[in-house]
């Protein structure tokens, strides 16, 4: 499981929180040995702002790191908006996936958005192949979602009122690996 700070849904919000309330990112225990004394351990940097360039870009984005006093291992806390294993933040993926679910082709999307067709297709394939597991886990948290039994109906319903990143936070909390 990754450490993800929920409800930090934009990069600006993340930068603001790091400056004003950095303690929010500090985990209450080591993710390896459960020791409760944790030190701050600097930052590492990511480049998740893929939409703004030059002076408008928010990159590089600092991600706070921590070290456990007992086992000495280090770990970091991501804000909800950053996908652990993808270049693009969740809201970009949400936008593309929503359009795909609505019937827009990856080819058409790649013509209006600075993303390759293969990237969009890969994301959509991921959404469909992980559906059974994601559906099961999310329905265990929110039983009323069981009404939406297909990948398309489920995710359209979710994305009409909620963020994709919020689903990923819930999945991560249940030890499901999210990209």
List of residues contacting Zn ion (CB under 5 A): 30, 32-33, 35, 68, 70-71
User: Nearest distance from residue 71's CB to Zn ion, in Å?
Assistant: 3
Q: Which is nearer to Zn ion, 35 or 49 (CB)?
A: 35
Max Cα distance, the chain (Å): 53
Q: State the DSSP code for 143.
A: G
Query: For residues 3 and 104, which CB has a smaller minimum distance to Zn ion in the complex?
Result: 3
**Closer to Zn ion by Cβ: residue 57 or 74:** 74
* Smallest distance from Zn ion to CB 35, Å: 4
The nearest distance, CB 29 to Zn ion, in angstroms, is 8
Cα 9 from chain centroid (whole Å):
9
- Residue 139 beta carbon to Zn ion: minimum distance, rounded to whole angstroms: 33
Nearer to Zn ion, 32 or 162 (CB): 32
Residue whose C-alpha is closest to residue 83's, from 9, 141, 16, 27: 9
Cβ count within 10 A of residue 24: 14
Distance from C-alpha of 177 to C-alpha of 137, rounded to nearest angstrom: 12
Going by C-alpha positions, the residue among 85, 145, 152 that lies closest to residue 124 is 152
The token duo for 73 is 């291992």
């Amino acid at each position: 499981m990754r450490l993800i700070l929920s409800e930090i849904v934009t990069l600006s919000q993340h930068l603001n929180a790091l400056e004003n309330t950095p303690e929010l990112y500090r985990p209450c225990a080591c993710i390896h040995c459960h020791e409760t004394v944790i030190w701050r351990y600097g930052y590492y940097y990511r480049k998740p702002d893929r939409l703004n360039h030059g002076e408008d870009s928010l990159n590089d984005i600092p991600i706070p790191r921590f070290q456990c006093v007992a086992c000495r291992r280090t770990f970091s806390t991501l804000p909800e908006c950053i996908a652990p294993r993808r270049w693009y933040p969740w809201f970009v993926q949400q936008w593309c996936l929503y359009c795909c679910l609505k019937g827009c082709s990856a080819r058409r999307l790649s013509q209006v958005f600075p993303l390759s067709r293969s990237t969009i297709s890969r994301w959509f394939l991921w959404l469909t192949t992980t559906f059974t597991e994601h559906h099961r886990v999310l329905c265990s948290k929110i039983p009323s979602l069981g009404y939406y039994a297909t990948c398309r109906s489920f995710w359209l319903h979710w994305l009409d009122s909620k963020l994709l990143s919020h689903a990923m936070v819930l999945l991560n909390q249940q030890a499901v690996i999210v990209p």
